[in-house]
Structure 1
Amino acid sequence: MAIRVLLGFSIPEEDLGHLFEVYQQFVENVFSLPVDLPFSGYRRGIQARQILQKGLEKAIREKLQCTQGKDYSDALDILIESSKEHGKEMTMQELKDGTLELIFAAYATTASASTSLIMQLLKHPAVLEKLREELRAQGILHSGGCPCEGTLRLDTLSRLHYLDCVIKEVMRLFTPISGGYRTVLQTFELDGFQIPKGWSVMYSIRDTHDTAPVFKDVNVFDPDRFGQARSEDKDGRFHYLPFGGGVRTCLGKHLAKLFLKVLAVELASTSRFELATRTFPRITLVPVLHPVDGLSVKFFGLDSNQNKILPETEAMLSATV
């Protein structure tokens, strides 16, 4: 989906399969310690990135040459046009970096955040019910329980303030990636230590969220902390940065938030779901936050009276995310 719909690439199925295998290798090693030794995870990640960028460059050049007959703009088109509007045409390297970042956002990190969202709705039924109340108030869910007919629109999603709080809290407590690297542009001093220009530094998103003084009870899943009455994320800069910050903030953040909101609305309005195992799975943080053996969930469709529609076989209602 990310390759064909978001970026508008026409890549043969065989080549797409190969690129996906390379991409998996890239994701598995993207956050390895930056030690460039033979057979190290860092070296494997760099090699995978080089192969990916070579394939992406070919696809980008073909795309730039074939602009006829399109009646829509994809994410890459918008990125290119936006840079032109600001008086700076993107280089091929910038296009490749931006494309790879969009793919990463559309696949690995979004899958991680989606799983965390489902897990928290399972753990906190009161949050799910409050979300359903908001859907009823906005006419998305009938008082009887069944979803209203019609297309879910962006302006409708923008009115779902509690939904926005839920997504923000998922991203605060369960940020898909631990942090990121930046290059020091100017020598500066931090806590008595001089950080020279040109050095690579790593910042931790999770540690920032855990230690930020603006958040109360940091280990508690509490979407209301982002509500209008409290707005804990409004005090100070860079206390809340699930998508990074500054000029290098995640290019795919709006796509990711939109996807999570639509998923939450669908889950809340069209199904009942429950954990398919006795206990919740153990979580690992590498390469992105995810359950070690997946999250097994049973989904039940709902009739117009919000009653479960039982499938004919057990296999039809089980899913691992």
Structure 2
Amino acid sequence: MMVLWVLAALALCLLSLALLLLVSRQLWQWRWAITRDKSCKLPMPRGSMGFPLVGETFHWILQGSNFQSSRREKYGGVFKTHLLGRPLIRVTGADNVRKILMGEHHLVSAEWPRSTRMLLGPNSLTNSIGDIHRHKRKVFSKIFSHEALETYLPKIQLVIQDTLRVWSSHPGSISVYCEAQKLTFRMAIRVLLGFRLSDEELNHLFQVFQQFVENVFSLPVDLPFSGYRRGIRARETLLKGLEKAIQEKLQNTQGKDYTDALDVLIESGKEHGNELTMQELKDATLELIFAAYATTASASTSLIMQLLKHPAVLEKLREELRGNGILHNGCVCEGALRVDTISSLHYLDCVIKELLRLFTPISGGYRTVLQTFELDGFQIPKGWSVLYSIRDTHDTAPVFKNVDVFDPDRFGQDRTEDKDGRFHYLPFGGGVRNCLGKQLAKLFLKTLAIELASMSRFELATRTFPKIMPVPVVHPAGELKVRFYGLDSNQNEIVTETEAILGATV
């Protein structure tokens, strides 16, 4: 009898809990429904706000790309949800995205999730708006000028060669995504910023930075052991290390020519009569590393995977390199790479364009609505957040045929599938907030592709390729294990050469 009473009580508790969850969820839905603009007759977008406080954040993390596609099929290209502690309207489609990107400063304003804003810092370019944003973009633009890229290229090439040599000397396979992260972090530290750090210091900073990146997009709940708290602690540690490196660099570069991004940033600030403070330098440095790290590592991993999957693409790439005198006897000719030379390689450009179409590293960008406007017959209320979707816009763009197929020739002169409408293809965003570093990112990826083409062989070390996860950036769900085999003989002394060149610039 006692057992029955216990079971009955337990059932009653479970029923009460279920009713409480149901009521609280309905109240949560209603709480956001009343935020519609009463002066606008258009309805709010359809969609679900999930559960109180957490919304659909865990659905988004666990479902990956299925989250967007399933809701797009159910609700259409414009739907509402609640992610990372904020109400959100997700938007897909060239015309819709165009309206958002071209509406900066009057319809919308950039505003990332609170965790991202706080961890990147109040002085970052990402968080700035209006005249401050325009001024900072002007300062930052010199970092990515043609002249600056020409200066970076030899050092980028040597860092890549050095890394590939290490990979090929490894007795077994390597985990490409993990190693690509180390490569892009090293490129940011050694090439962009010109920091002279020991391998031990570099590895420690890399570990801390990984913890920082893992929590940039987290629920903004500042509690012990929360991801947000871990991100804050990682940021504090990073800023201490960066301040030390900046001070050492300033002492060692007195009276020397400006040869890296941090030098250019410091000098550009002086030219505009606004010399950067140490806090601004630290925030700018952290943002540069962040911008150069996760997305480039993601694209680098995708590049290696696609070249493994499509050997015909790799061979066609080699043919172009041989035809332009860049590749000879299986190796890159010394002094053959210049920015203009790389830009003239049409098939290589098609490969990178297709890579960024099919495997765009980030899903989109955040904006805050300044005034209510219309999209697809729905009102987008003032005060709400909007996430325009890059990846889903690529997937649904009518100009692309067989969208799931990796086909670089779609961008060739005979087809040019991207010619009809600029907002069907936007891997680097658009409008006044398009990615400033896009030319550097493409230069890095093209140089990596060229160096990969010069290797004797690299092959998948497992039976199948891992599945792809889209959150927070595109990456393998499991490890992408690859064996790299020996580089050509004239590349054996790259480590010494790299150290000599990088040492001379810092």
TM range (shorter): 0.7 to 0.9
What is the alpha-carbon distance in structure 2 between the residues aligned to residue 12 and residue 170 of structure 1? 34
What is the alpha-carbon distance in structure 1 between the residues aligned to residue 282 and residue 424 of structure 2? 30
The counterpart of 1:23, out of the listed 194, 209, 222, is: 209
Change (3 A) 1:85 1:202: farther
Change (3 A) 1:183 1:67: farther
Q: CA deviation at 1:11?
A: 5.7
Alignment match, 1:227: 412
- More deviation in 209-218 or 114-123? 209-218
- More deviation in 262-271 or 59-68? 59-68
What is the alpha-carbon distance in structure 1 between the residues aligned to residue 362 and residue 398 of structure 2? 21
In the alignment, does 2:319 pair up with 1:149? no
1:1-321 equivalences in 2 (<5 Å): 1=186, 2-10=188-196, 16-32=202-218, 34-38=219-223, 39-53=225-239, 55-56=241-242, 59-60=245-246, 63=249, 67-82=253-268, 95-142=281-328, 145-147=329-331, 149-151=333-335, 152-184=337-369, 186-191=370-375, 192-197=378-383, 199-301=384-486
Change (3 A) 1:36 1:165: same
Q: CA deviation at 1:134?
A: 0.8
Q: CA deviation at 1:162?
A: 0.7
Matched residues, number:
299
With normalisation by structure 2, the TM-score equals 0.52
Residue deviations 1:251-303, cap 9 Å, x none?
43332221211111111123222211111122223333222332222233477
Change (3 A) 1:265 1:232: same
> Which structure has the bigger radius of gyration?
2
What is the alpha-carbon distance in structure 1 between the residues aligned to residue 277 and residue 419 of structure 2? 35
Q: CA deviation at 1:249?
A: 3.4
Task: Letter of the 1:170 partner, please give it.
Answer: L
Change (3 A) 1:53 1:187: farther
Structure 1 vs Structure 2 CA RMSD: 3.2
Is 1:3–1:103's contact at 8 Å kept on the other side of the alignment? yes
What is the alpha-carbon distance in structure 2 between the residues aligned to residue 245 and residue 46 of structure 1? 30
Q: CA deviation at 1:219?
A: 1.1
- More deviation in 52-61 or 202-211? 52-61
SS of residue matched to 1:238: helix
Residue deviations 1:65-96, cap 9 Å, x none?
76414234211223444566677766766644
What is the alpha-carbon distance in structure 1 between the residues aligned to residue 368 and residue 282 of structure 2? 19
What is the alpha-carbon distance in structure 2 between the residues aligned to residue 246 and residue 57 of structure 1? 33
- More deviation in 86-95 or 14-23? 86-95
What is the alpha-carbon distance in structure 1 between the residues aligned to residue 487 and residue 238 of structure 2? 43
Change (3 A) 1:60 1:157: same
SS of residue matched to 1:231: coil
Q: CA deviation at 1:121?
A: 0.8
Q: CA deviation at 1:131?
A: 0.9
Q: Percent identity?
A: 76
Change (3 A) 1:60 1:196: farther
With normalisation by structure 1, the TM-score equals 0.78
Task: Letter of the 2:333 partner, please give it.
Answer: E
Unmatched 5+ residue regions in structure 2?
Answer: 1-185, 490-506
Q: CA deviation at 1:123?
A: 0.9
Q: CA deviation at 1:164?
A: 1.0
Task: Letter of the 2:191 partner, please give it.
Answer: V
What is the alpha-carbon distance in structure 2 between the residues aligned to residue 11 and residue 210 of structure 1? 42
SS of residue matched to 1:271: coil
What is the alpha-carbon distance in structure 1 between the residues aligned to residue 207 and residue 441 of structure 2? 23
Residue deviations 1:165-215, cap 9 Å, x none?
10111111112222333344x324133223325x54333322222123332
Change (3 A) 1:224 1:92: farther
Q: CA deviation at 1:157?
A: 0.8
What is the alpha-carbon distance in structure 2 between the residues aligned to residue 228 and residue 276 of structure 1? 36
What is the alpha-carbon distance in structure 1 between the residues aligned to residue 206 and residue 326 of structure 2? 37
Residue deviations 1:235-260, cap 9 Å, x none?
33433232333343334333222121
What is the alpha-carbon distance in structure 2 between the residues aligned to residue 227 and residue 303 of structure 1? 31
What is the alpha-carbon distance in structure 1 between the residues aligned to residue 344 and residue 220 of structure 2? 47
Change (3 A) 1:58 1:141: closer
What is the alpha-carbon distance in structure 1 between the residues aligned to residue 247 and residue 366 of structure 2? 28
Task: Letter of the 1:31 partner, please give it.
Answer: F
What is the alpha-carbon distance in structure 1 between the residues aligned to residue 271 and residue 400 of structure 2? 38
Is 1:226–1:233's contact at 8 Å kept on the other side of the alignment? yes
Q: CA deviation at 1:221?
A: 0.7
Q: Which structure shows the higher helix fraction?
A: 2
Is 2:326–2:332's contact at 8 Å kept on the other side of the alignment? yes
- More deviation in 120-129 or 228-237? 228-237
